[in-house]
């Protein structure tokens, strides 16, 4: 999959999200910033992202996902 396709999927499914995607072969690195993550544990944030990408993972289009998830407040603290 192309980075633009993955970015579009995530932005469509996760409210008000800002997404950065880097693809290396079938490995995908994503950074997702969204107010939808407010109050969620790190595991719940990951589950939200995996839920969006589950069909692509199941089909083999995406082999591995490395993700970083932030609320806007957490992202601002990252600098």
Q: What does the pLDDT read at residue 71?
A: 97
Q: What does the pLDDT read at residue 36?
A: 97
The yes-or-no verdict on residue 79 having pLDDT over 80 is no
pLDDT digits (tens, 9 = 90+) for 36-73: 999 999 999 999 999 999 999 999 889 899 999 999 99
Q: Please give the tally of structural domains in the chain.
A: 1
Q: Classify the C-alpha dihedral 11-14-18-21 as positive or negative.
A: negative
**Backbone angle region of 32, left / alpha / beta, with phi > 0 → left and psi within -120 to 50 → alpha:** beta
Q: What are phi and psi of 43, to 5 degrees?
A: -65, -40
SS3 sequence of 17-40: CEEEEEEECCEEEEEEECHHHCCC
Domain that holds residue 13: 3-78
Which CATH number belongs to the domain containing residue 27 in this structure? 3.30.300.90
């Amino acid at each position: 999959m192309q980075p633009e396709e993955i970015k579009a999927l995530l932005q469509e499914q996760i409210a008000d999200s800002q997404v950065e995607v880097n693809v290396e072969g079938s490995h995908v690195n994503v950074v997702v910033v969204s107010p939808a993550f407010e109050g969620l544990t790190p595991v719940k944030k990951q589950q939200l992202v995996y839920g969006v990408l589950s069909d692509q993972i199941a089909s083999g289009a995406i082999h591995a996902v490395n993700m970083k998830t932030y609320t806007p407040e957490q992202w601002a603290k990252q600098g």
